[in-house]
Structure 1
Amino acid sequence: MPKAYWIARVDVTDAEAYADYMALGPAALIGNGGKLLSRGGQAVALEGPEPRQRNVVIEFESMDAALACHASPEYTAARKARAGAAEVEILIVEGLPE
């Protein structure tokens, strides 16, 4: 079964409120099987729109696992904490078969 990659593009609009998300979000991702591969490091746009402030890549064992994490009670609470604190785009991409 191919792995899946959660790609999040984030512009923080309220750093103080976003800190509430950071207290919950990473733990929810890891606790639901995610492996953080990149989180907020340098990003360069070679084509297309400029990167957002934070660009995050998280590996999951499968597309189902990534979707289940997003729907989990833990990540739902993190999303609620993040509401109004950031502009967020999240995409889940299925990897190649192993």
Structure 2
Amino acid sequence: MTAYVIAEAKHLDTPEVRRYRELAQASIALYGGRYLVRGALPDALEGDWPDGNRMTVIEFPSLEQAKTWYASPEYEQARATRSDLSGRRMLFIEGLAQQPD
């Protein structure tokens, strides 16, 4: 069943963040993932969205594959380039097996 990784983080454009993006993109592709949304600024019609925070949505073939990517040495290398990861959120969720009636 398809799974999604949804990440929210403060938008920064520093050399370490650019390196993270490069390494993360390569690791995501290596583990069968693909970006559906990358670095978007959501339009919050209900509730609040923190100023300057961006959203990324990545699709994987399965939740197991998404978790394998997250624990991979390739993604660990990407995470190691960043010193500011404590303020971000990353959620892993399964999609629907079929659309509800």
Partner of 1:67: 67
What RMSD in Å do the two structures reach over aligned CA positions? 2.0
Change over 3 Å in CA distance of 1:36–1:80 after alignment to 2: same
1:86 to partner: Cα distance: 7.2
Partner of 2:92: 92
Partner of 1:23: 22
Superposition pairs for residues 1-98 of structure 1, below 5 Å? 2-12=1-11, 15-50=14-49, 53-84=53-84, 87-98=87-98
What is the TM-score when the length of structure 2 is the normalising length? 0.83
8 A contact 1:14–1:85 mirrored in 2: no
Percent identical across equivalent pairs?
A: 38
Aligned residues: 97
Structure 1 unaligned regions, length at least 5 = none
1:21 partner SS:
helix
Distance in 1 between residues matched to 2:70 and 2:54, nearest whole Å: 18
Distance in 2 between residues matched to 1:92 and 1:7, nearest whole Å: 7
Structure 2 unaligned regions, length at least 5 = none
What is the TM-score when the length of structure 1 is the normalising length? 0.85
Q: Describe the superposition over 1:36-56 as per-residue Cα deviations: whole angstroms up to 9, x where unpaired.
A: 111013411122330553210
Change over 3 Å in CA distance of 1:17–1:86 after alignment to 2: farther
Distance in 1 between residues matched to 2:61 and 2:53, nearest whole Å: 27
Task: Name segments (4+ residues, structure 1) moved above 6 Å.
Answer: none
